[in-house]
């Protein structure tokens, strides 16, 4: 692994914060966005040089990524980005669907014009990034849409819990995103969810959410066939 081939040039850290969490966040973003693909090596010495740090915060960040199942660490040998674990992706999907069905139910039982405006703003940002084919920014706006719903429902901490399990399913979604019509379906689904919440239509909001979150999972066999070197099926 070299800085020029697999890592972005700008890896500047906020020196007012601890280094290890920032390294974890940056590497996790690269892994989930598929800029660092399954199998990519992550040498501590080279990472330390790229970030301008000692190996200690690099080791700590890699350990946290291992705990999320996003890297494989082989002592005295190598560390590499893990394959996408399909079983883990299915479990993360089950967790998120269960929580968000209740979240949209809560949101659809009350009036909150400010929330509606914020959710619409996220959709508008997604649309702009869809037109420009800026998929990482599109994904960031997608995440912001769902995170805002969690916070509005008073369960923001559960978003952090979900994120600890979401790495595998999020990578599947990133692989699926460039497929023809996928981004447009996400936009359509988000608008349907928002419209149902705005009209206090609990049944409609839950139906739209269920369809939205199940889109990628329904295409797992096709994704696995397209990217057999990226996945593990067990």
CB atoms within 10 A of CB 144: 16
48 in any annotated domain: yes
pLDDT tens sequence across 18-55: 899 999 999 999 999 999 999 999 999 999 999 989 99
For residues 126 and 138, the answer to whether their CB atoms sit within 8 Å is yes
**CATH number of domain containing 74:** 1.10.10.10
Residue that has been written with the tokens 């199998």 in this structure: 39
Same-domain status, 190 and 227? yes
- Domain finish residue from 62, 81, 100: 81
Q: Tell me if 1 is assigned to some domain.
A: no
State which of 81, 104, 119 marks the end of a domain. Answer: 81
Claim to verify: residue 74 and residue 185 sit in the same structural domain: no
Whether residue 6 is contained in a domain is answered as: no
So what's the pLDDT on residue 177? Answer: 85
Mean pLDDT, rounded, for 65-87: 93
- In this structure, the answer to whether residues 98 and 138 fall within a common structural domain is yes
pLDDT of 5 higher than 60: no
Q: Exposed e or buried b for every residue in 99-113, given b needs 16+ CB within 10 A?
A: bbbebbbbbbeeeee
For 139-162, the pLDDT digits (tens) are: 999 999 999 999 999 999 999 999
Residue 135 maps to which CATH number? 1.20.120.530
In a domain, 5, yes or no: no
pLDDT number for residue 8 = 58
pTM: 0.86
pLDDT at 9 over 80: no
Angle at 116 between CA 112 and CA 117, to 5 degrees: 115
d(CA 162, CA 151) in angstroms, rounded, equals: 13
Mean per-residue pLDDT for 98-111? 97
Question: Where a domain ends, among 59, 81, 103?
Answer: 81
- 225-231, Cβ contacts within 8 angstroms, sequence gap of 24 or more: 226/175, 227/175, 229/38, 229/39, 229/83, 230/37, 230/38, 230/39, 230/83, 230/84, 230/171, 230/175, 231/38, 231/83, 231/84, 231/85, 231/86
Do both 51 and 167 map to the same domain?
no
Domain that holds residue 54: 19-81
Number of domains into which the chain is organized? 2
Separation of alpha carbons 29 and 99, rounded Å = 23
Is 65 in the same domain as 98?
no
């Amino acid at each position: 692994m070299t800085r020029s081939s697999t890592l972005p040039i700008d890896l500047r850290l906020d020196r007012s914060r601890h280094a290890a969490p920032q390294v974890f966040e940056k590497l996790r973003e690269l892994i989930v966005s598929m800029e660092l693909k399954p199998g990519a090596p992550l040498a501590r010495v080279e990472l330390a040089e790229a970030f301008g740090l000692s190996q200690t915060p690099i080791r700590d960040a890699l350990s946290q990524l291992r705990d999320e199942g996003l890297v494989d660490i082989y002592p005295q040998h190598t560390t590499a980005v893990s394959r996408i674990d399909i079983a883990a992706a299915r479990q993360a999907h089950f967790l998120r669907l269960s929580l968000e069905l209740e979240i949209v139910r809560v949101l659809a039982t009350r009036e909150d014009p400010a929330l509606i405006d914020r959710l619409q703003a996220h959709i508008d940002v997604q649309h702009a990034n869809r037109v420009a084919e800026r998929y990482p920014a599109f994904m960031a706006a997608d995440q912001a849409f769902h995170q805002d719903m969690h916070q509005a429902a008073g369960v923001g901490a559960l978003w952090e819990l979900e994120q600890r399990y979401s790495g595998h399913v999020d990578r599947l979604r990133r692989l699926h995103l460039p497929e023809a019509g996928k981004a447009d379906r996400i936009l359509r689904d988000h608008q349907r969810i928002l419209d149902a919440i705005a009209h206090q239509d609990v049944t409609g909001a839950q139906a739209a959410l269920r369809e939205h979150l199940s889109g990628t999972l329904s295409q797992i066999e096709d994704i696995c066939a397209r990217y057999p070197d990226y996945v593990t099926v067990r």
